[in-house]
Every structure is written in structure tokens, then in C-alpha cells.
Structure 1
Amino acid sequence: MGSTLAQKIWNQHVVHRSAGGDDLLYIDLHLLHEVNTPQAFDGLRAAGRRVRRPDLTLGTEDHNTPTVAVERVIRDPGSRRQSELMRSNCAEFGIPLHRLGDPRQGIVHVIGPELGLTRPGMTIVCCDSHTTTQGAFGALAFGIGTSQVEHVLATQTLALHRPGDMAVTINGRLPEGVSAKDLILAVIARIGTSGGQGHIIEYRGEAVSALSMEGRMTLCNMTVEAGSRAGVVAPDDTTLDYLSRRPGMPSGPQWDEEVAHWTALRSDPDAVFHKGIVLDADGLSPYVSWGTNPGQSIPLDARVPSPDDFTDPQQRSDAARALEYIGLRPGTPMRDVPVDTVFIGSCTNGRIEDLRAAADVLRGRRVADGVHLIIVPGSAAVRARAEEEGLAEVFARAGADFRAAAGCSMCAALNEDRLRPGQRAASTNNRNFEGRQGKGSRTHIVSPAVAAATSVAGRLAAPSDL
């Protein structure tokens, strides 16, 4: 019997198998941000331990960082303290840190691939569930908790129970105007927010192979919204092309050796998946969430569903609560839903391709009166690239608020970027639960192109509507 891609990477990193079923895995890359790490460092001090491999560890500031200007001070005392501790802890334990103002700073899941740290066949962990983003490169990437952060810092290993394998096969090609964000929303709408629970999802098929690396990162990023801790895509020529342009890559014979190893990382033809689904990309259209979880998503040209449309009692109850919170009436066309704010950014859609997609829609147009369009780059490098390509000028002419610094911003709402109670946003982030973007906030998850079109129309809209 053959092995899946995930099984191959997993087995190559097993240090010890316990009788209880957990495997001790070696970790190739450990990423940190400022929110969930202070207690882990306190634990190291209390036990008199050091960081075993600071050279395989990297910190960045992203969740609490202000985005209006690099020189601004973090207002919230708790958030400011977290950043201060991140700086002092990394300095004490010899961990490199990209702090606010550093040209390599950015959202942790953006800078890993950007800096060439993320590579096929690796095991990667971070104190953030969206670490699975980096599975786009054929790596096993997991979000971990604070106690696990301490364990990895001290031992460079992590005990995990081996998940099952799930195949999500997407045949055909995405139609024009349909993006990776629409695709993953369609997947989650199909399988639900627990559909991938207990499994590593491998995305396969023609539609996945046709995606750029940034599109694949969006796909894997929201794997956790389907209940899975990790999603992977087998490396191919698209992966190699992206990696060849990253810093720190080997050259000559060493590059050839790496390529030979990376291209062998794929599921065997006779590999057995424990579960799977098949989707047809040809029939997809732009998607938008109508409720309070990503599974409550529908095509943009559909109408708000009624709780009575659901036969399952729990789904019916969830829909009723979601509609009450989100403030929508069943039967309302999604294109008739007005918004106050549009947010383009986050680890899901804050990369340069996302900003290009938004600029293509905004070029020659203006943001509607009464709508605040906030665009936050996923990294300082993305911000610099947007300026070089003239995207920043497009945003300025359109009346968008293109932020000067990178960070999680309104996705996590841990800084001043948040919605007021009752405000409604079209947002390119990954989560829309109650209060995610501020107390009483109402969030509709969309792609960058739909977000940009919505900012111009003042209501949920696709570029083709303009």
C-alpha cells in the first residue's frame, strides 16, 4: 500500500513512537508572534532551560502592531506589554525577531514563505492556527498552543497524534473572476466547519495545480476553518519557480538535489485516503458568507437562506441565530446587502497578488461615499512592492486607506483597527464569528476582487457588476 504526501513527511520526522499512539516529531521551523508566547518563555526560565535551536526559530510582530504609521506607539497597555515581552524574550534567548519597522516584518504566515524559510517536506509550527497556510508548499504546518510552544523551544520536537488523511479533489478550471478564496469558501460550505476534523487535507486536481503559490496559500490558510489542523498541496513546477526566487536558496548541484527530493513528495497512486470529496471548479462563481462561520457561505448571486431551508435541527438553530446577529432577512439578494467598511488584508489575502487583484478593480474608479476601504499589506515587503508597481497610487486615487505598516489589523481586531457595534464589513480575512472584527461587528468573507468591487458599489458586488 502506498503512502500519502502527509504520511511521507510525517514518517520522515518521527523521532519516537509511544505506546499511547502519539509520535514525537522533529520540527524544522518554529515561528513565533507576540500574542501567545510570553508564558512559554516564563516556563523555560522556571525550568532553567534554553532554546535548543534558536537558528530554527523566528519571531515577528504582527497581531498588535499599529498599521497607520510605523512610528506609532501601541495604545493598548496589554498589547504594548506583549510586544515588549516579545522583544526582551527573543533578545534573551537569542532568537531573531522582525519587529515593527524592520523591512522583513509582517504577518508570520506571510513572511515565512516570503523569506524562503518555508520549503517542501518540512515540519513547521507556530502559535497560531493559520500556520497551515504554509502547507501550500508541501510542508506539514500546524498551529500549536502555549505549552507546546514551550516544548518545541526546549526540545525542537513535538508530540502529536497522527491524523487521518482526506482528499479534496477539484476538477476542471476556475472560471474567470473566481479565485482561490471563492474555491475554499465553496469547499467549506460543502463539508462544513468540522468536515476536515481529525484529518490532514490534501488539495489535488487540475484546478489546484492551476493556482499560483499565493492562491494555494489562501486555500491552505482556511483549511483550519474546515476543522483540519493542516492542509497540503504537492510541490510542482509552480512551487519550484516560486522558491527559486526566494532568498537563501541553494544553487548548482545542491539545488538539483533539493529539487529531486521536493518533486518526489507526492501521494503514491495507491495511497489510501480515509475520506474525500470531489468538486467541479467549472461551475463555481464568487462566494460570500451570509452567517457567522465560513461554512455559512453561498454564491454571490444567491439569496439569504431561511432557517427553514435546513433539515438538520442544529443547522436550523445555527442559521436562526446567525441571521439574528448578522441582521439579514431570508430571501434578501446578497447583492442588495450594503456595507460600511471593506477590509483587504490578513494572512489569507494580504499578499501582493491580492493587492494586484484589488487594484485591477479600483483602477479608474472611486470608493463609494460612506464606505471606508482599508487595505493593509501582509508584510513590509508587500507594501514596498505595491509602491514599486504603482498600486499604492491606484489605491490613493480611488480613495482607499492604504496603510503604511503591515500587520493582522482588522482580521484580529487587536489594535485600533476594528468595527463599531452594528457596522457591516466585506472582508478578505478568514473568520466571521460574532465579534471577530469588533464587538457587535458583522462580517461577510469575500475575495479581494469582490471586496474591491463592493467598496465601489457600496453593497456586495462582483467586478462584473461595475
Structure 2
Amino acid sequence: MSGPRTLYQKHIDSHTVCTLDDQGHVLLYIDRQVANEYTSPQAFSGLREANRRVRRPSATLAVVDHVNPTSPKRVAAMADAGGALQVSYFQENCNEYGIELFNVLDKRQGIEHVVAPEQGFILPGMVIAAGDSHTTTYGALGAFGFGIGTSEIEHLLATQTLVYKRLKTMRVTVLGELGAGMTSKDIIMALIQRIGASGATGYAIEFAGPVITALSVEARMTICNMAVEAGARGAFMAPDDKVYAYLADKPRAPKDELWDQALVSWRELYTDAGAQFDREVELDAAGLEPMVTWGTSPDQAAAIGGCVPDPMNERDLIRRQDLQRALRYMGLEPGSLLSDIQISHAFIGSCTNARIEDLRDAARVVRGQKVATHVRAMIVPGSTQVREQAEAEGIAQVFIDSGFEWRQSGCSMCLAMNDDVLASGDRCASSTNRNFEGRQGAGARTHLMSPAMVAAAAIRGHLTDVRCMAEEA
């Protein structure tokens, strides 16, 4: 492609093996993939039945994260027979095909989208695919990541390529300056609320602007992670000095001469002046307030100072019915204050918000405070390394002293695939990425928000503007 190109176009052009048709389909080379025990079994079974080998075993990193227990003391044994079978079959497959595995007891274990960046397995300019929709997280490092299905996992393992259709491009420019108590979670939730849960379907989003530049790398990961909740199949930022500093000491990052060579290449990863996007969106950070969801879709959200909406104000009949169903499921009345919503549980974890910076933010809120007596509060670090770092910094003790459960790493209550499950009617303030019906347990009700907002809700016992707590302190 001649002329100015977007960063997305540079990623795809540099990895296109050949063009397959005039509809945008290409054969795309994939640099690396991350596998987990939940979405990979059928892919490995397919390889075995077809008598195929894994093309590049070193390009795959395998991590147990979805089904493993997160009880405070880590053990390999699992009470759930189905989960235990998935983990043992995963181990068997990795052994047979020569794939490196971070198993339950490995010191590097954790949620795949936390572990892969902290190991330096993801680098700028790479194209990454994995059997998890939140593979978009890696865009914060200047890579291009996207989720794939089981049949695609099998094809990728066998060939190191995928049949891929080029996406349209969207640039989201975040202007202004974030106010006190505001986080990257509020930025992405505000965007999803504005453009809708399908507003970026068919697009790859590039995030830009002074607010994005000012964010830490971990904060950028939160934005790229949740962009998929607006329908995007890719999200990224141009890499910069913050990214390079983040990667410099990672175990698998290039060293010495290779690092210098890599930097030269990485500094070319930006959208050219004059490059055209299919859609442009601007977001003013200065006007944002802490966000919470009230419904059963990530776009059913509002500022904490607002009210539960009235479906009768919605003219579109289908949308009105969706709102009515959401409120019935959530047990909420139109017009009630969001800050009056009582919770029974508080959960800080997930690939969206369980990194060390997230835990530091939450710890600042709960220090010297106690969890409300009617609330069960849990912290599930994103990785074993994050857990150990939090313990070394004294953060873990802050949570324990406040009444939080301090647990082992894993996906946990983000999707309730292990024994961390809510009961029907439970209401949870959660730092996760999805609030679908039954996501955290059948009949359970989920309100998404930043880790600091979850911490504030845990202390007060109801949804709370974390900025008010800071003022009172």
C-alpha cells in the first residue's frame, strides 16, 4: 500500500503472506500466541486426529488461568473434576507438542493477558492471536492482538498463519486532562457507553491524544482490554518511551545489540501524517466522572452521580425492551440513585484490572478502613508475580487488615469458571470487563467499575463516588 498508512495498516501489511481475494481477506502470519486450558483442548485434539504437528512450538506460551482455584493457599489438586481434567489434558498436550507451560504451581502463573506482557513475550510490532477475546490487551505495547475461535487455534498451531479479513479503522482521540480519582477504566467505560456495545464492530481502534500519552502502560492495557466490549476486534496505541521502559527489564525482551536494533524498528510504529481513518471519535476526559454499569451490558453505564434510567424515555421499542429486561434482571427501579445501590460482594481482579498499579490504587482507598459488615470482599491478583510484589510492598497486608480476602492468581470471579461464584441475587461491585446475565454466577448481578471504585463500595457497602472518600480523608 502506497501513501500514508495507519498503524493498523502497517501491522497487517508487514504480516501479510499473500492476498486471498479482493474482499480484504489475506493469509496473515502470526508472531506469537498464548494458549489456556479452557479454549485449547479441541484444537489439540484436532491436531492429533489429523496427525499434524505444531509448526513453531516456541511461538506459543501456555498458561493455566481460567479454571484453577484461587484459594489463599495454592495447591495443584482441584475439587472440580472437569477443571482438573482440562488442566491435566493441557499439560499432556504441552508435553507432547513441546510447548512451554506455566502450570498452577509455577511462579510465573497468572492470567494470560497479565503474564504475557510481564514476561516480555509481547513486543511492539508483533501480531498476536489467542483463544480469548481480550487478546486486544496487547495493543498497549504497540502490538496488534485479537481473539480467535477453537478451529482457528488449531489452524494457527499447525501453520503459524490465519485467514484474516482486514478491518475498518477508527481513531479515538482522548483530549483534555483526567481529574482526580479518574482512571483509564472510566475512559473506556465512557467510550463504550457513548458508542454502544456494537459501536466498533468491524473496526480496529487506535487510541491517541494527550490523555493516552499521559497514562502508564498498565493503564493503557485496561483500555485496550475493554475495547472489545464495544465490538472492536483490535485496539492499540503507538509505542513510546514508556513502553520501552516497561519492556527493558522483562525476561524475554531483547538484550544488548538486539535491543538497540529493536528500538530502531519500534520507533517506526506510528500512524503517518495524513493517513485516513474510516471513523474518528473524540472524547473529552475533562468532562468525565467515575463510571459504573447499572445494566447487563458494558454500554449500560453512567456516571456515579447519576440515576438508573427510565426505559420509557427510550423511543426505540427494541432498545426499550432491552433496558426493561436489564432492570428486571438487576432488580433496579428507574430514577433511583446509583450511589444508593447496596452491594453484597466486592471483587478486584481479572485481566482488565488486577495489575500492581490497580492494587495500589485500591489500597490507597481502603488503608485504615474496614469492609462493610454485610460485604464479602476479594482481591485476586492478576499473576503470582503481582501477588508477590504486592506482599513485598505491604499492599496485601492493607487489604487483609481491611477485611478483604487475599487470594491466589487466576481469572476467578470474572467469569465464575472455578469455585469463585456468586449466588442468585448477589450483587457485586467488580473491576472486571463484562456484566452479562449470569457472568459471575446464575442470577448474580454485576456492576463494573474501576478497582478504586470497587474498594470504595466495599468500605461503604454501596456504590460510592471514590472522590468523596478522598475529600473526607
TM-score, scaled relative to structure 1: 0.98
1:400 to 381, 384, 404: 404
Q: Give, as a single letter, the amino acid of the residue that structure 2 aligns with 1:139.
A: A
The question of whether the paired residues in 2 share the 8 Å contact of 1:449 and 1:462 is answered with no
The question of whether the paired residues in 2 share the 8 Å contact of 1:341 and 1:373 is answered with yes
The number of aligned residues is 465
Partners in 2 of 1:177 and 1:132 — Cα distance?
A: 25
Deviation at 1:138, TM superposition (A): 1.1
1:199 to 196, 203, 219: 203
Partners in 2 of 1:169 and 1:76 — Cα distance?
A: 45
Partners in 1 of 2:431 and 2:241 — Cα distance?
A: 28
2:269 paired residue number: 265
SS at match of 1:142: strand
Of 247-256 and 352-361, deviating more is: 247-256
Partners in 1 of 2:217 and 2:313 — Cα distance?
A: 37
2:282 paired residue number: 278
Partners in 1 of 2:313 and 2:368 — Cα distance?
A: 41
Of 447-456 and 310-319, deviating more is: 310-319
1:432 paired residue number: 435
1:149 to 139, 148, 153: 153
2:385 paired residue number: 381
Pair 1:332 & 2:336 matched: yes
2:9 paired residue number: 7
1:289 paired residue number: 293
Partners in 1 of 2:466 and 2:368 — Cα distance?
A: 13
Q: Give, as a single letter, the amino acid of the residue that structure 1 aligns with 2:28.
A: L
1:159 paired residue number: 163
Q: 1:146-197: per-residue Cα shift (whole Å, max 9, x none)?
A: 0000001000111110011011111011111000001100000000000110
The question of whether the paired residues in 2 share the 8 Å contact of 1:64 and 1:74 is answered with no
Structural mapping, 1:60-139, within 5 Å: 60-68=63-71, 69-71=73-75, 73-139=77-143
Deviation at 1:313, TM superposition (A): 2.3
The question of whether the paired residues in 1 share the 8 Å contact of 2:305 and 2:465 is answered with no
Deviation at 1:60, TM superposition (A): 0.5
1:31 paired residue number: 34
Partners in 2 of 1:208 and 1:191 — Cα distance?
A: 19
Deviation at 1:72, TM superposition (A): 5.5
Deviation at 1:253, TM superposition (A): 3.4
2:56 paired residue number: 53
Partners in 1 of 2:125 and 2:239 — Cα distance?
A: 9
Partners in 2 of 1:20 and 1:34 — Cα distance?
A: 37
Q: 1:355-377: per-residue Cα shift (whole Å, max 9, x none)?
A: 11111111111101010110001
Of 308-317 and 212-221, deviating more is: 308-317
Partners in 2 of 1:138 and 1:310 — Cα distance?
A: 39
Deviation at 1:53, TM superposition (A): 0.4
Partners in 2 of 1:19 and 1:354 — Cα distance?
A: 44
2:450 to 435, 447, 451: 447
Pair 1:305 & 2:316 matched: no
Deviation at 1:316, TM superposition (A): 1.3
The question of whether the paired residues in 1 share the 8 Å contact of 2:61 and 2:100 is answered with yes
Consecutive unaligned residues in structure 1, runs of 5 or more: none
SS at match of 2:432: coil
SS at match of 1:190: helix
Moved >3 Å (runs of 4+):
none
Partners in 1 of 2:144 and 2:317 — Cα distance?
A: 36
Partners in 1 of 2:133 and 2:247 — Cα distance?
A: 24
Of 440-449 and 261-270, deviating more is: 261-270
Partners in 2 of 1:316 and 1:19 — Cα distance?
A: 41
SS at match of 1:348: coil
Partners in 2 of 1:152 and 1:10 — Cα distance?
A: 16
Consecutive unaligned residues in structure 2, runs of 5 or more: none
- Using the aligned pairs only, state the percent identity: 49
